[in-house]
Structure 1
């Protein structure tokens, strides 16, 4: 853009932020619909971006991808500091005194081969009437997202090792369960605590309508016996990986989702991952701040129709 006589109200591209020299931060923030305190973050996103004169115009995702490259991430922990570092808590800070439901002995995985599970896996949005057995839900959670070992790590003698690998083993993904029709489990919202293993009651009552409301063009969520809600807790990884942790966390989410798909298939469940949801509605349902902790995916499951 040009400066001097430029109409400030026409600044709409975030890449203009580093080019404006003749306007105040207040004017610039107003033109972009931001607050003055938001400008440093925006400038940081656009920093170190060298674009050739003949290159196509930058898009928001171009800026994000460039900023998350290892070569420009300057806020990762120094390896010397890592030697004395301790990880952040592996579970969210839920209110004290919430009741918990111990998970029963999980339904064991059948002798389905990995090749068969991969071949048979498919997304299903139609579920059979009747409850999802709690033992089957326990099998899904434990086999896909549970803890299978404890080893020394991060200056902790018994650091938990999950069945779903993650960057640095920090496991930023939490699993909540909306129980619509689970045998032996009251309707409500639960947090899966793998260290128990148990389900902590976060909210009680019929949540079908709230989950369906959160989904976008996914009314069938109303009929799913259980909906797992996968959330990200960025504090667990940012202390080590800085801004690049945003990239790592979503890779971890994809790995866990594949685990859920394959385990659900082996257990004979119908299931599907859901990324089309209203973020604010979903975060409010789980009482998350939507900033440092937020819903990133839903995963509906239950006995398939025709089983």
Structure 2
């Protein structure tokens, strides 16, 4: 099953909802992955001084300043990436948002082995804030051979690998849950990239890698749990040599059956053949360089541009503004729906949009633009939709061609298409992440669908954190009547919405 077929099969329509599953308590997934007790556990420091850098400062800071990846620094990075932050009854909340608070993402760290340091591959247990060593040896070097890192990048200080356990999300959302696990991966990856910037560590996101080799490295059951994304982390030093093509030794997994059994979250876990088939269609047999892919902008989505506006620079928007440290923002982030029907002032609006850009002042390498970022905003009759050029920091106002709704009711149109969730219409900003699944398939093959889902999740997490940084709230939405949403937005030539994050001033909690 290719991505186009999967997306159509899981499309919500008023007369045919993509089938979720009755949440059978007998197959309710465990919240945390558990390994055999005889594996080595490494406790991480809990009392840790987090960086005081704000979100704008982190986005503007140099990525790497020769900082070693110490145990303290690793502990802080993991806490900010996907650590526990609170509990509500029996549900444990984390620094990353997740559809239905189901948290399908598992985090692994592959470390180099040098001298007396055994290195190896570790699983992060957020419930214990500890690492479980899966195998010893030069895990980072082995992980690096499964993908193509940027030329001249050198040997990574660590490779972070993020898997998803299908049943955690599909237990509630059925086959459409595959869309949501990709978004969840993006949330976690964006947290990691921002945490690395705050720690002055370099980081590179990699979505193309040899799937079987990576899953084998982690010892997972690939019918239940698969790697979706990797991030190479650097400490700023530039070695003279690239990662070795052959690892310097890696311990074998003696009991693969027991290791793979840890991927199961409950006895009698159901199978998800559509999800597995869709995922496997995009598997790569060997390491390949990431291709640029199609640029999803107003033109690619066949949206008519009415006007263009350049956002002010970061120095103008953030100078003298008292903002919380990024770490505090990440650890206190919550989904909020109590939106007030009001727009923030113009400077706050522009600051919010600037924080959605890849770099605060533009420039730099060409970002992945296989997903377009659109924003519906404005006061009353001035409400309109804009496409954000995340590299140049420009806004393009576009015509929506929404036949049922004039421009002034765009917010209501989106709320109606999102299963009639009225709170969405009160949000100051409706940030929409759009792509053309057919163009992705034609250009990048089935792998493009994974990449776009992860990128949409990354940009969605950026919207969450930008809103919280500026004293607002945010909440993500992945359930909507797909064709109605596309029609309301004027996506008449194949464009699709894949994620929405509502943001704006909220009632005080």
Q: TM-score, normalised by structure 1?
A: 0.69
Residue 115 (1) aligns with residue 61 (2): no
Change (3 A) 1:177 1:253: same
Shift of 1:184: 9.4
Say if 1:102 and 1:197, in contact at 8 Å, map to a contact too.
yes
**1:248-287 superposed Cα distances (whole Å, 9 cap, x missing partner):** 0000111111111111111111111111210011111001
Shift of 1:181: 6.2
> Partner residue of 2:71?
134
> Partner residue of 1:53?
none
Q: State the SS of the aligned residue for 2:124.
A: strand
Shift of 1:68: 2.1
> Partner residue of 1:75?
19
Say if 2:32 and 2:127, in contact at 8 Å, map to a contact too.
no
Gaps of 5+ in 1: 1-41, 43-59, 153-157
Residue 281 (1) aligns with residue 223 (2): no
> Partner residue of 2:147?
215
Shift of 1:151: 0.7
Residue 236 (1) aligns with residue 171 (2): no
Given candidates 75, 81, 86, the residue that maps to 1:144 is 81
Distance 1:298 1:150 in 2: 28
Gaps of 5+ in 2: 239-509
Given candidates 13, 37, 42, the residue that maps to 1:96 is 37
Residue 290 (1) aligns with residue 222 (2): yes
Say if 2:107 and 2:162, in contact at 8 Å, map to a contact too.
yes
**1:76-103 superposed Cα distances (whole Å, 9 cap, x missing partner):** 134xx57x67741123342332110000
Q: State the SS of the aligned residue for 1:70.
A: coil
Range that drifts further, 99-108 or 176-185? 176-185
Distance 2:137 2:206 in 1: 22
> Partner residue of 2:6?
64
Question: What root-mean-square deviation, in Å, do the aligned CA atoms of Structure 1 and Structure 2 show?
Answer: 2.8
Shift of 1:304: 1.6
Distance 2:28 2:115 in 1: 36
Shift of 1:206: 1.7
Distance 1:251 1:182 in 2: 35
Shift of 1:64: 1.7
> Partner residue of 2:415?
none
Given candidates 190, 197, 203, the residue that maps to 1:258 is 190
Change (3 A) 1:70 1:141: same
Distance 1:253 1:304 in 2: 25
Shift of 1:61: 2.7
Shift of 1:63: 1.3
How many residues of Structure 1 are paired with residues of Structure 2 in the alignment? 236
**1:60-80 superposed Cα distances (whole Å, 9 cap, x missing partner):** 3321211122335543134xx
Q: State the SS of the aligned residue for 2:52.
A: coil
Say if 1:90 and 1:171, in contact at 8 Å, map to a contact too.
yes
